[in-house]
Amino acid sequence: MRRGASLVLGLVLLLPGIAAAQPLTPRRGLPDDAGYAQRQLDLLGPEHLLREALRVTRARWYDRPARDDAARWEALRARWSPEAAAARTPAALHEVVNRMLGELGVSHLALVERDVYERELAGEFRAAPSLRLGAELILLDGRLFLDGVNHGGPADAAGLREGDEVVTIDGAPALGGAPARPEVHVALDPAGHDPGLPGPPGYFLRPPGDTVTLGVRRAAGGPVEAVVVPLRASSMVEAVSASARVVEVDGRRVGVIRLWHFMTMQVAQRLEEALDGPLAAADALVLDVRGRGGQDAVVRRVLALFHGRRARWDRPVVVLTSEGTRSAKEIFAYHWKRAERGPVVGERTQGACLGCTFTQLSDGSILMVPVVDVRRLTGGEQLEGRGVEPDVAVGQLPLPYRAGRDAILEAGLREAAARAAPEPARSF
């Protein structure tokens, strides 16, 4: 199972989540320089952070019986302390902590680097752009491939497409070391995927400057092309608006819009603007909710645009999901199916459906912890570990060298066109 392009996000009680979404408030007095985490490691020792991560996780754990099982937590600490003790850098220590947390086997539990949180996530709560590539890199079979290319973002504007292999970054190999455990380029940061869920690792580019040159291979065995990407501040909220378009399919006008996340009400507002603007003339709509989660208020707002007394859109709608659809998006898919407003097309969702919050640890890293079971939002039905099954199952094409092709979107467009009302007969 592949997570898709997403920082671990979802139903969050105190942050990106199921009640009010508010950015993390960093600890006061923590220096912002890159060397702070190393100084903390040298001063306190690596086991300090491992114990702190376990203590915070246990104190906020969503399942009370498991939280009260002291022997379980102590056994976990004892098992991973030797590996933590051998760590000499924050990155190595954080990797050990994440592998330890992965043993708990749940979603919304991960240690995220501070700069990744601030660059790729914090601004999304406020719909504030940040300097980024606007895509993720997925490690598959010892190679890095672009995924989750945001509409209108720097990667998209430079002509990069999902499935392109990234071979070099500013002239240096993107990967080095042994194939079984490759070392990634220094400008790549772990994307913060749930270590307790299956799937390949993902990375975000840490902007090395105003531009970056990527050596890209677009076909297996093909030449490597140098692509200069001017970097600029962008956001996934902007990508929602940039994704809105109308295409002709089998003689029908089908609107398409992708809601990249549900983290801020701005996403629902951008959707409303698109329905009244570029999508207004469409005969049917493809609503793409693949990707990361958000908060339940946004779920309710989006649902209300299509279902109920105040619905703004009465034409056919097809919803797209994938195995990377997670958290609040799964709550949305569950209620969409119950409303019988239109079919869900694509893949079973990820089954990553717990309410979480974020805490800044003593070295500045950000710990995401699952704090609540959200079955109250699904009438008691458990989605964690199960997901939501689509009405029309469509498997996505393999990521490598996909050249931007999207089998799920193509199927959704055909389904929407088939459901669109025929053109009225004209009299002459």
* Distance, first Cα to last Cα, the chain: 56
CA distance 108 to 373: 11
Listed as own residue / partner, the contacts of 336-341 with beta carbons closer than 8 Å and 24 or more positions apart are: 336/303, 337/388, 337/391, 339/303, 339/307, 341/306, 341/307, 341/317
Judge contact between 208 and 390, C-beta under 8 A.
no
Q: How confident is the model at residue 183 (pLDDT cuts 50, 70, 90)?
A: confident
Q: What is d(CA 332, CA 292) in angstroms, rounded to the nearest whole number?
A: 12
- Write down how long the chain is: 428
> Strand pairing of 317-321 and 344-346?
parallel
Q: What is the DSSP letter of 120?
A: I
- Are the beta carbons of 336 and 351 closer than 8 angstroms? no
Strands 183-184 and 175-176: what pairing?
antiparallel
Q: Which residue has the higher pLDDT, 316 or 427?
A: 316
Q: What is the DSSP letter of 12?
A: B
| Mean of the per-residue pLDDT values of the chain | 90
Do residues 164 and 145 touch, judged by C-beta distance below 8 A? yes
- Residue pLDDT, tens place only, 288-337: 999 999 998 999 999 999 998 889 999 999 999 999 999 999 999 999 99
| pLDDT value at 73 more than 60 | yes
Kind plus residue range of the DSSP H or E element containing 147: strand 143-147
φ and ψ at residue 335, rounded to 5 degrees: -75, -30
**pTM of the predicted structure, to 2 decimals:** 0.91
CA pair distance 230, 155, nearest whole angstrom: 8
Position 27 confidence tier, pLDDT thresholds 50, 70, 90: low
DSSP, collapsed to helix, strand or coil, labels residue 410 as: helix
Neighbour count for residue 75 (Cβ, 10 Å): 12
What is the CATH class of 236-354+374-419?
alpha beta
Question: At residue 82, what are phi and psi to the nearest 5 degrees?
Answer: -60, -40
Q: What is the distance between the alpha carbons of residues 328 and 299, in angstroms, rounded to a whole number?
A: 7
> Which three-class secondary structure state does DSSP give residue 59?
helix
- Determine the 3-state secondary structure of 382 from DSSP: coil
pLDDT in the model for residue 23: 46
Pairing label, strands 130-132, 392-393 = unpaired
Contact of 109 with 12, CB cutoff 8 Å: no
Tokens representing 120 are 């790729």
Q: What is the pLDDT of residues 109-168, one digit of tens each?
A: 999 999 999 999 888 988 899 999 999 999 999 999 999 999 999 999 999 999 999 999
**How many beta carbons lie within 10 A of that of residue 79, not counting itself?**
11
Q: Which residue, 168, 18, 195, 31, is CA-closest to 104?
A: 195
Residue-wise pLDDT for 192-240, tens only, equals: 899 999 999 999 999 999 999 999 999 999 999 999 999 999 999 999 9
DSSP 248: E
- Residue ranges per domain, the chain? 236-354+374-419
d(CA 236, CA 355): 22
Whether the pLDDT of residue 415 is over 90: the answer is yes
> How many Å is the maximal CA-CA distance in the chain?
86
Q: Mean pLDDT, to the nearest integer, of 258-273? A: 97
Cα angle: 126, vertex 128, 129; to 5 degrees: 150
What is the predicted pLDDT for the residue at 122? 87
Residue 426 has pLDDT above 70, yes or no: no
